Amino acid sequence: MMEPGLYQILFISAALFFTGVYGFLTRRNLITMLMSVELILNSVNLNFIAFNKYLWPQKMDGLFFTLFVIAIAAAEAAVAIAIIINLYRSHNSIDVENAEDLKY
């Protein structure tokens, strides 16, 4: 079995990225949308790892970046979910389409 090259990994990460974007754009449930964002971030992580391993192995920049991204993602999720909960309190729903009072 051959070891996957940079391009395969990039392909996967791109696919992941667009899946995330697609999910973000189409899902109505806020939690799901948040998860889609996570997908995007993970595709980014894949990128970093891959670039680090295949193109710039001498320094560990990519790796570190990945760690930080994961951390930040967690923080973001925390705040986001807090907000969503609050939204649920006021709207009794976590469907994005029920929160469209602000427009025009």
Partner 1 sequence: MNDLWIIMKNELVVTTIIFLLLFIKIGKGLKNETLLPLIQFLLLANLLQGFFFNKEGLLFEGIFYSNTLIIVQKNILSLGVYLISLVCSDWLKKSPQLPEFFILMLSALLGMFFMISSGNLLMFYLSLELATIPVAAMANFDLHKKVSSEAAMKMILSSAFSSGILLFGISLLYGATGTLQFAEMSALLDGSPLQMLAFIFLFTAFAFKLSVVPFHLWTADVYEGSPVAVTAFLSVISKGAVAFILLTVLHKVFLPMMGIWYNLLMILSVITMITGNIFALRQQNIKRFLAFSSIAQVGFILVGMTNEGQLGISSVVYFILVYIFSNLAAFGVASAISSQTGKENIDDYKGMYRTNPFLSWILALALFSLAGIPPTAGFFGKLFLLTAGGAKGSFWYIGIAALNMIISLYYYLRVIRSVFMDKNDAPIEKISVGRSATLGLLLCGAGILAAGLFSWIFEYIRGILN
Partner 2 sequence: MPSIATIALIPLLPFAGFVLLGIFGRTALKKPAGYLGTALMLASCILALYTAYGYFFDFGKIHGAYQKLVPFQMTWLEFSKDVSINIGFILDPLSAMMLVVVTFISLMVHIYSLSYMKGEERFGTYYAFLGLFTFSMLGLVLSSNIFQIYIFWELVGVSSFLLIGFYYDKPSAVAACKKAFIVTRFADLGFLIGILVLSYYGGTLDFGTLIARLTDPSSTQMQAAVNASFLGASALTWGAVLVFIGGAGKSAMFPLHIWLPDAMEGPTPVSALIHAATMVVAGVYLVARLFPVFAISVPGALHVVAYIGVVSAMIAAVIACTQTDIKRVLAYSTMSQIGFMMFALGVSGYGGEAGLGYSASLFHLFTHAMFKALLFLGAGSVIHFVHSNEMKDMGGLRKLMPVTHITFLIACLAIAGVPPFAGFFSKEEILLAASRGNTGIYYMALITSGLTAFYMFRLYFRIFWNKEAGHDAHHGKEGGFALLFPLVLLALCAAGAGFIPFGEYVSSDGTPLHSEFDPVFSIAPVALGVAGILLASWFYLRANDRADRVAASLKGLYTAAYNKFYIDELYLFITKKVLFNLVGRPAAWIDRNIVDGAVNLVGNETVAFSKLIKKLQSGKVQQYAIVFLGGVLVLAVLFIYIWH
The piece of 25-33, 42-50, 52-60, 66-74 that touches partner 2 (CB under 8 A) is 25-33
Q: Are 43 and 13 in contact (CB under 8 A)?
A: yes
The residues with which 95 forms a beta bridge, in sequence order, are 29
9 or 32: CB nearest partner 2: 32
Q: For the window 61-100, what string marks contact with partner 1 as x by the rule CB under 8 A?
A: xx-xx--xx--x--xx--xx-xxx-xx-xxx----x--xx
Contacting residues toward partner 2, per CB under 8 A? 21, 24-26, 33, 96-97, 100-104
